[in-house]
């Protein structure tokens, strides 16, 4: 359009020039009568139109620039929008994870006795259906899962490999939780082991180990870790570290292959033991009963009450 008007404007100028040069009148008279009266309005219109077109072109250029800026701003807004949406999704995921952790801590089917009173509860650990455990918050702080208890001789601990693997006894009285359950509990997260001991003279001792862990059945549930010891019963378990579990029908003590059969119990026997908390329960206080419940680093007399407990490590 601009080029067309420029062409028209040029034609008018040329036409005026020709008329002025070929007129019979003098040049000044011809221009006065033709240029200023006839062509001047056209020239003015053409000039005004050209200026307006230039203004429109400038406005269009500014509009294009503004549209480009607006597009960049919109693109930037979309980028921030996507970023906010991603962060919102990540925040929601983190909130869900926190909720899951919170629920795991307080759920009746969580994998520990944390926040539970002394009673029997159902818990769930990966790799096994929910099962009942005895929780204890009375002997040493709170939140302990009892894995073994001896108190009156009501339960026979002279059991075979399958029974020690699955567990046996009365969970509210004397019982053994079972090696497979114990393994899965310890595998789920690091645990502390607490052992409470009482003898027939009403004396009490304890042993605490900061990192208790056993192997799986293919490893014969070997005692793989105890961590650091503390307590007042002395460290009788250390001698059994890295030793496989044995039962009368499956004796894995390679150094002395008759311990489980001789002492009629399942344990981590090592020539044969410095402690055996699954031995024959004896109601006497005689130091001659060597098959009874013993923690020999304290004394060799039989024990009246024993309770082994685990708790997730802080």
- The 10s digit of each residue's pLDDT in 207-254 is 999 999 999 999 999 999 999 999 999 999 999 999 999 999 999 987
- Compute φ and ψ for 303, nearest 5 degrees: -95, 145
Task: Give residue-wise pLDDT tens across range 11-24.
Answer: 555 555 555 455 45
Percentages of the chain per state (helix, strand, coil), in multiples of 5? 40, 20, 40
pLDDT value of position 27: 47
Q: Which residue, chain included where needed, has tokens 């001792």?
A: 205
Q: Which residues contact 222 (CB under 8 A, 6 or more apart)?
A: 214, 215, 242, 243, 244, 245, 268
Confidence of residue 144 (pLDDT cuts 50, 70, 90): very high
Task: List helix spans (H) across the chain.
Answer: 2-22, 27-30, 40-106, 161-166, 179-188, 259-262
pLDDT value of position 78: 80
Confidence of residue 79 (pLDDT cuts 50, 70, 90): confident
Q: Which residue has the higher pLDDT, 137 or 314?
A: 137
Mean pLDDT (the chain, rounded): 84
Confidence of residue 121 (pLDDT cuts 50, 70, 90): very high
Q: Which two tokens stand for residue 276?
A: 């055996």
pLDDT at 113 over 70: yes
Task: Give residue-wise pLDDT tens across range 266-302.
Answer: 999 998 999 999 999 998 877 666 788 999 999 999 9
pLDDT at 106 over 60: no
Mean pLDDT, range 110-125, rounded to an integer: 92
Q: Does residue 212 contact residue 225 with C-beta atoms inside 8 Å?
A: yes
Task: State how far the Cα of 154 lies from the Cα of 244, in Å rounded to an integer.
Answer: 27
pLDDT at 8 over 70: no
pLDDT value of position 231: 98
Range from 6-15, 104-113, 130-139 carrying the lowest mean pLDDT: 6-15
């Amino acid at each position: 359009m601009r080029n067309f008007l420029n062409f028209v404007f040029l034609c008018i100028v040329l036409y005026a020039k020709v008329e002025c040069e070929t007129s019979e009148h003098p040049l000044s008279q011809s221009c006065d009568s033709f240029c200023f009266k006839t062509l001047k309005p056209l020239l003015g219109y053409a000039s005004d139109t050209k200026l307006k077109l230039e203004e429109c072109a400038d406005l269009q250029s500014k509009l294009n620039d503004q549209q480009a800026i607006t597009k960049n701003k919109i693109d930037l807004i979309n980028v921030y929008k996507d970023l906010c949406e991603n962060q919102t999704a990540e925040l929601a995921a983190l909130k869900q994870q926190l909720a899951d952790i919170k629920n795991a801590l307080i759920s009746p089917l969580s994998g520990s006795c944390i926040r539970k009173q002394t009673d029997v509860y159902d818990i769930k650990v990966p790799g096994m259906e929910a099962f009942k455990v005895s929780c204890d918050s009375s002997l040493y702080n709170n939140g302990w899962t009892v894995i073994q208890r001896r108190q009156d001789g009501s339960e026979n601990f002279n059991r075979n490999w399958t029974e020690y693997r699955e567990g046996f006894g009365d969970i509210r009285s004397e019982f053994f939780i079972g090696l497979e359950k114990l393994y899965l509990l310890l595998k789920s997260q690091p645990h502390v082991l607490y052992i409470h001991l009482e003898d027939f003279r009403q004396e009490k001792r304890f042993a605490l180990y900061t990192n208790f862990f056993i192997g799986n059945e293919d490893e014969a549930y070997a005692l793989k870790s105890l961590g650091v010891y503390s307590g007042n019963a002395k460290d009788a378990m250390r001698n059994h570290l890295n030793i496989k579990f044995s039962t009368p029908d499956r004796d894995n003590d390679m150094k002395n292959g008759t311990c489980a059969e001789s002492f009629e119990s399942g344990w981590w026997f090592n020539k044969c033991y410095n402690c055996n908390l699954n031995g024959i329960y004896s109601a006497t206080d005689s130091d001659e009963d060597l098959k009874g419940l013993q923690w020999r680093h304290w004394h060799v007399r039989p024990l009246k009450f024993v309770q082994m407990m685990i708790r997730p490590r802080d």
